[in-house]
Amino acid sequence: MRQRHRDNSVASDIIYIKDLKVRALIGIYGWERQVPQAIVLDLEMATDIAKAAQSDKIEDTLNYKAVAKRVIEFVENSQFELVETLAERIAGLIVDEFQVPWLRLRLNKKGALRGAQDVGLIIERGRQ
């Protein structure tokens, strides 16, 4: 997210979470509806850190711990069939609940495809 500061300089600030591991019921096959599977998330979230850098107070920034806790809770309680649906809902949750104007989400469903280390998707929502 590009922010213009008082001195007319431009900043693009991103808070990220990498390799957030969560277990969820996800998939279209019968066995996938029975056994929680590992989902790994990477999140990049646009924010303006200027106020927090000035005040040194957590309430003036995007609290990545609060985001992670909310995403973990949501994913663990979800039961979607498609990773596309799960990714879209996670993105909507972050944008709506944490007022994030832009995010990139990478969702990895490890072990979903024999012979591949990773399989998943990357989505971007909002304006950077």
- Catalytic machinery residues: 109
d(CA 34, CA 76): 13
Name the strands in the sheet holding 102-108, side by side, starting at the edge strand that comes first in the sequence. 2-4, 10-24, 37-47, 102-108, 120-126
d(CA 106, CA 90): 11
DSSP class of 110: T
Write down how long the chain is: 128
Angle separating helix axes 64-76 and 83-98, nearest 10 degrees = 140
Fill in the amino acid letter for 89.
Answer: R
